[in-house]
Chains A and B, each alone.
Chain A
Amino acid sequence: MRPTEALDRIFREEHGLVLASLVRFFHDLDLAEDTLQEAVTTALRSWADVGVPDHPAGWLLTVARRKGIDQLRRRRNFARVSALLAEPGFTEAPEPAEEYAVPDERLRLMFTCCHPALSLEAQVALTLRTLGGLTTSEIARAFLTTEATMYQRITRAKKKIALAGIPYAVPVREQLGERLDAVLAVIYLIFNEGYSGSAGSDLVRLDLCREAIRLSEMVAALMQTEAEPAGLAALLCLIDSRRQARLDEQGELVLLEDQDRSMWDRSLLGQGRVWLDRALAAPGPIGPYVLQAEIAATHGAARNAADTDWARIVYLYEELASARPTPVVALNHAVAVAMWQGPQVGLDLLEPLADGLARYQPFHAARGELAARAGRRNVAIESFAKAIELSANEVERRHLERRLSAVRSLNP
C-alpha cells in the first residue's frame, strides 16, 4: 500500500478512533487534533521512505502521543507531562471495555463530547466534527446554516471547553440520560450524511450509514428502558433497507414512490420492525425517532405508493410536528397531505414555509414536484431551478435537471 492510500483508509475508517484515543489520553481536544495532524505529516514522509507499518493507526497514535508530550514540555507543563507518562495508556493497549458504562470507544467519546454545559447544537456539531468524521461544511448543511456560522459555533464551543474547564471525562451510567438527546442526534446526522452525501458524486456513503446503524443499535442495547434509542435504530434500518432501490442501473436517483419495492432489503426491514416493536414496548416516552420509524414502517408495509396508508402517515407527521415543530417536519407533512388529498392542498401548506426553508434544497424539489403535478408549470420550473442551484450532490442534481427539462417540455 502507498502511504497516501494507507492514510486515506485510516481517515475513512479509523480517524475517529485514533482521535478518540488521543482525546482520552490528553484530556484536551485541541492538543489531540494538533498532534494527530502532525503525526499524519510525519507519516507521509516516513512511510514513503521505510514503507507503511503493519498497524498504521497504532503508529499514528504512538507518534501523536510523543508529539503531544513534547509540546507540553515546550510549554513547560511538567506536571502534566509526568502525569501522562505515568498513565498506563501510554505504553499499553486501551484498558478493557467492561470498566465503562459504555462499551465502545467511539460511542464513549461521543457521550463524553456531549457535555450538557454546552448547548445541544454545540454538542452535536462538535461531536460530528471530531468523532463523526464530518467536515464543517457537511455539518453546516445538516444544520441548514452556512459554513462560516458553523465554524464559529464549533470554535466557540471549543473555547468554552478550554476556559470553563469542561473535562473529557467518560460519563457514568447516571449521566448518560442527560446526554442521550445529543448522542442520538449525532448518530442520526452521521447516517443522514451517509445516506445523501451533501457533497461529491456518490449519493450513498456506505461506511457512514453502517457506522450509524452500528452505533444506534449499541445505544439501544445499552439503554433498554428508553424508547428513543430503539426508535432510532429502527428508523435507520428501515430507511437503509431502501438503499438498493434508490438508484437505478445508471446510478440515477429513484424517488420513494417510483421505487421497485421488491428490491427493498427484507432482512433490514425485519430488523427495523424488531427494533420498532422494542421501542413501542419500552417504558420510556415516545419521541421523534419512534414516530419517524413508524412512518418508515408504514411505507415498508405498502406494496406500492398508491397502496400506502397516507392517512396514517399524515397523522404520524402531525404527532411528529407537535413533538418537534420544525419547518422540515412541516415540509414532510405537506408532502404526505399532497399524496393523500392532492398536490394543490400540499402546495398551499408549503407556502408559509418558504422563508424558513429558503436554503433547503428538498423544499424547492418538493414544491417543484407538487407544482408540476398540479399543472402549475411556471412555479415548477422556478422551484426546480432553485433546487438545482442549492444541490451539492451530483446524482441529486441530475435527477432535478431531468425533472426540470420534463416540465419545460410541457405546453405552457
Chain B
Amino acid sequence: MQYMLLIYEDETEEARLSSEEQQASIGRHIELARRLRQENRLLAADPLQPAATATCVRVENGRVVLTDGPYAETKEQLAGFYLVEATDLDQALADAAAIPSAARGIVEVRPILDLQA
C-alpha cells in the first residue's frame, strides 16, 4: 500500500532552532530518505515553502476566487511530505516516527486511495 506522510510544524518554532539543530534535522531527513530509497519504498518526498507563500483557489459560479495564505489558520502548518510504499499501516507509522519533525510537530499518516483496486 501507499501512504502519504504529511508533516505539520509550528513555523515560528522551527525558525527558532539553532543552525546545529537544523543541520541535525536535515541529516536525519537525508538518512531516512536514503534508507527508504534503498528499500525501494520512497515514491516522493519534499519540504514546502512556508505557509505564508500559500494561495488558496476556489471556483465560484465559474469565477476563480483567490485568497492569500493557507487553508487552515492553525498553529501547525503543512511543512512537507513523504509518499512511501509500505506493507501495512505499522510500517508506515514506523516511517512517520523516523521523520525528525515528529519529535517537534505532528506527522499525519494517510493511506492513498488505490483507484486500480
Chain A residues near B (Cβ < 8 Å): 117, 163-167, 169
Contact = CB atoms under 8 A, between A and B. Distances in A.
Interface string B74-93: 00000000000011111011
Contacts of A117: 89, 93
Contacts of B87: 167
Contacts of B3: 165
Going nearest first, the 8 A-B pairs with the smallest beta carbon separation are A167-B88, A165-B1, A165-B88, A166-B89, A165-B89, A164-B111, A164-B89, A167-B90
A20 B62 CA distance: 55
A345 to B, nearest CB: 46
A226 to B, nearest CB: 23
B109 to A, nearest CB: 8
15 contacts: A117-B89, A164-B89, A165-B3, A165-B86, A165-B88, A165-B89, A165-B92, A165-B111, A166-B88, A166-B89, A166-B90, A167-B87, A167-B88, A167-B89, A169-B90
Nearest to A162: B111
Nearest to A116: B93
Interface residues of B, number: 11
B42 to A, nearest CB: 18
A163 B111 contact: yes
A300 to B, nearest CB: 43
Nearest to A117: B89
Contacts of A165: 1, 3, 86, 88-89, 92, 111
A117 B111 CA distance: 13
Nearest to A27: B88
A249 B68 CA distance: 78
A164 B89 CA distance: 6
A169 B88 CA distance: 10
B108 to A, nearest CB: 12
Nearest to B111: A164
Given A165-B1, A166-B90, A169-B88, 8 more contacts: A117-B89, A117-B93, A164-B89, A164-B109, A165-B3, A165-B92, A166-B88, A167-B87
Contacts of A169: 88, 90
A199 B1 CA distance: 43
A164 B86 CA distance: 11
A119 to B, nearest CB: 15
A167 B92 CA distance: 11
A169 B109 CA distance: 19
Contacts of A167: 87-90
B106 to A, nearest CB: 14
A163 B111 CA distance: 7
A99 B87 CA distance: 22
Which one of B3, B90, B92 has the highest number of Cβ atoms from chain A below 10 Å of its Cβ? B90
Contacts of A166: 88-90
A166 B111 CA distance: 10
A404 B90 CA distance: 55
A163 B114 CA distance: 10
A163 B2 CA distance: 11
Contacts of B86: 165
